[in-house]
C-alpha cells in the first residue's frame, strides 16, 4: 500500500459519525448481514464516501490493520487519485473480517470489498440496515420526492468523466 493520505480536493469528506451513531451503525450492519465483504463495503462507503467503482479497487494488501488505514485506487485520477483513508475503530472490525474472509477464500488478488456485480446485494444490505447515502439537493433529484437515490454520487462522477474526453476532443485547426 503506497498511496498518500486522502486530501479531499474534489469532494467533501463524509461527516464523521458520533460514538453513539457509530455504535448504532455497527449494530445495524451486524444484524443486516453475516457476509463480511458486504458489511465491510457498506461500512467503508460510510467513512470514505467513495463510489462502488472505487471501493471495488481495494485488495486485502490495501488494508493495514496495524495502521488502521485502507487504500483505494483511482489510477486515472478522476476523483481523489489513489489515496489512503484512516479507518475508524467501529469500521475496523468489519474490514478485519473481510480481509480474513477474502484471504481464506480467494487470496490477495481478489477484491477486499464487494465487486461491481454485487451492487444489488449491497443495496439490500444497506436498506435492511437502514443506512442510506447522502441525497442530492432537491434541484438535482431525478426521481420522485422521498425516493432514495443510491447512485447519485456515481452518476455525478460519471458525468464528470464524460466531460473530460469531450474537452480533450476539440477539433484541430488547420
Does pTM top 0.85 for this prediction?
no
CATH of 4-168, one of 1.10.287, 1.25.40, 3.30.1120, 1.10.443: 1.10.443
Closest C-alpha among 66, 58, 47, 46 to residue 132:
46
With cut-offs at 50, 70 and 90, classify the pLDDT of residue 162: low
Domains of the chain by residue range: 4-168
Closest C-alpha among 111, 107, 97 to residue 34:
97
Q: Report how far Cα 97 is from the mean position of its chain's Cα atoms.
A: 17
Residue 1 above 70 pLDDT? no
User: Would you state the cell numbers that stand for residue 20, as one nine-digit string?
Assistant: 453513539
Amino acid at each position: 500500500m503506497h498511496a498518500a493520505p486522502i486530501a479531499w480536493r474534489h469532494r467533501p469528506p463524509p461527516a464523521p459519525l458520533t460514538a453513539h451513531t457509530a455504535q448504532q451503525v455497527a449494530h445495524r450492519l451486524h444484524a443486516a448481514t453475516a457476509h463480511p465483504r458486504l458489511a465491510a463495503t457498506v461500512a467503508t462507503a460510510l467513512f470514505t464516501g467513495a463510489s462502488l467503482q472505487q471501493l471495488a479497487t481495494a485488495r486485502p494488501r490495501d488494508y493495514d490493520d496495524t495502521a488502521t488505514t485502507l487504500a483505494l485506487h483511482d489510477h486515472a485520477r478522476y476523483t481523489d487519485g489513489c489515496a489512503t483513508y484512516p479507518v475508524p475503530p467501529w469500521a475496523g472490525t468489519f474490514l478485519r473480517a473481510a480481509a480474513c474472509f477474502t484471504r481464506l477464500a480467494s487470496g490477495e488478488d481478489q477484491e477486499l470489498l464487494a465487486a461491481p456485480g454485487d451492487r444489488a446485494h449491497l443495496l439490500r444490505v444497506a436498506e435492511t440496515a437502514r443506512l442510506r447515502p447522502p441525497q442530492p439537493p432537491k434541484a438535482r433529484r431525478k426521481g420522485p420526492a422521498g425516493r432514495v437515490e443510491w447512485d447519485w454520487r456515481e452518476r455525478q462522477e460519471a458525468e464528470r468523466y464524460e466531460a473530460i474526453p469531450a474537452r480533450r476532443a476539440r477539433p484541430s485547426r488547420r
